Structure 1
């Protein structure tokens, strides 16, 4: 049973919801942030905080130390330019987890990974970030970790209505950020989803 979790991407919209959800469920939370001031005061006072960068292996290793599991909600804040920062950061996270013998990890990726990038289902402006998410997923598959790759559709700022999840199946075009966060925390202990990718939706979608 997971008791302590490291969260990467905690200052983003999804990451803040994940952090709040983990705290509400009674987990101890450790986060890595470049700018602690981006976290609301009510969260900052309840968590363990490492100031640093995911591109620094030493910073990532310090964040993963003494945790039971990891959640990754990294994003680009709507910057769609080509990047490898997310996959390079995940590479550090995986290496640190394997070195620390931490296995469960839940990672938020894009539902565009359900489709071939040249199928016409992936908008041109989303192709670079989708390719980066594919690199992240490939890293997870090559690892020894008990990963859950959450192929999330549009993340909506809507109330929670409960989540629907299926392994390796596209479900819906949107999910509430609160339902997504709930599943990402729950999934760490849901072995039926380990080492696979999942589709997710809110029950109201």
Structure 2
């Protein structure tokens, strides 16, 4: 596969999104940040371009996807844990735009709860988890070259730089947002994790 340089990051101003943007810039990627509010993107993050839009608007998504080599999805609901389809609706738009423009590679951040039994999911996160399940289905049925990262609890600690990735199972109780960002980029330029849900840990 060819080396990937131009990427768009959806959810770029979220907690993990900002860490991923910073990692991508440091690693030499040409980054397009897709954001709802440009003021939440710090001035010191020198991205190649910014697309302000709503991920549930297909035209907005299309503007960001066109011309990219790959896509990184770090969508979230911040502190809103109510019923939602925003993340899955956005993912559907992203997938359709990638198909339209012939872009194959995508890494997606979901959750280690995907490895849990349904009756073990903590009630407060049920709504978000249900939308993650919808996202997972959309990605798996997309026909794209996808990798789904399933992190455990994401903390704000400095990245250790050394973490483990494990196929189809959880790998630890927590992960730094910086190491998660690194992993979302790492899986883009290798076929090792293709079409796999990947657990993370130390």
Taking structure 2 as the reference length, what is the TM-score of the superposition?
0.96
1-structure distance, mates of 2:152, 2:107: 16
Flag structure 2 segments of 5+ consecutive residues without an equivalent.
none
Q: CA deviation at 1:163?
A: 1.7
Q: Deviations over 1:75-132 (max 9, x none)?
A: 11121101000000000000000111111111000111101221x2x11111111111
Q: CA RMSD in A?
A: 0.9
2-structure distance, mates of 1:99, 1:20: 28
1-structure distance, mates of 2:37, 2:181: 22
1-structure distance, mates of 2:183, 2:176: 11
Match in the other structure for 1:2 = 4
Q: Does the alignment pair 1:169 with 2:197? A: no
Match in the other structure for 2:52 = 51
Match in the other structure for 2:31 = 29
Give yes or no for contact 1:29–1:48 (8 Å, CA) kept in 2: yes
Return structure 1 stretches of 4+ with deviation > 4 angstroms. none
1-structure distance, mates of 2:87, 2:177: 20
Give yes or no for contact 2:33–2:47 (8 Å, CA) kept in 1: no
Flag structure 1 segments of 5+ consecutive residues without an equivalent.
none
Alignment of 1:51-200 (within 5 A): 51-118=52-119, 120=120, 122-161=121-160, 162-200=162-200
Give yes or no for contact 1:9–1:74 (8 Å, CA) kept in 2: yes
1-structure distance, mates of 2:197, 2:148: 4
Taking structure 1 as the reference length, what is the TM-score of the superposition?
0.95
Matched position secondary structure for 1:82 = coil
Give yes or no for contact 2:95–2:142 (8 Å, CA) kept in 1: yes
